Amino acid sequence: MPLLPKPNFLTCDKKRDPKFFSRAVSRLGLWTVTNRKPVMSKKEKPSPLKKLLKAWTSAGPEERKAFLDLVQAEARARGADTSRQGQDPVPDDAAALIANGRYLLPSTIERVEAVMRARKLSPSAVMAELGYSSRDASLTRALAMKASLRLSVIAALAEWLDRHESAN
């Protein structure tokens, strides 16, 4: 008697996720590999801006004019608030700023390098003067690669710059 090839059945001991397997079961009550369905990705929802642009293109000239009149009326109602709305507030001590968040400003990098050249210091020596380990390379990375610094280092660096620039 010739041997028949083994059927390609998987035992059905675990429940299969319906996304990966169909609900069709073989006559023996086993899930087969051939019942596998492809997984479809979900369609991305359009953003409100895309919806607005689509509505704008499908609107008639009267509707577009009415919309623009509505927007202009709201802008006039707000008054001077719209003129300063897009601008960042400038602090009173803007000249004393040395960093934007955790990143040194380019002018600050130039100031630090000028003091370092005048005093013949390395970044590790500056870190030691600030009270940190001389093996801490964060100032070196901030000066060379514009990497971020800890806020405590930025505060100490601001004081250090004030002391040494006023001495020159």
Cα 105 from Cα 165, distance rounded (Å):
17
Confidence of residue 14 (pLDDT cuts 50, 70, 90): low
- pLDDT at res. 140: 92
Greatest alpha-carbon span in the chain: 104
pTM: 0.46
Cα 22 from Cα 37, distance rounded (Å):
6
Locate the DSSP E strands across the chain: 9-10, 31-32, 99-100, 103-104
- pLDDT at res. 11: 55
Distance in Å from the first CA to the final CA of the chain = 104
- pLDDT at res. 78: 79
User: Residue ranges per domain, the chain?
Assistant: 10-38, 101-167
SS3 assignment, position 9: strand
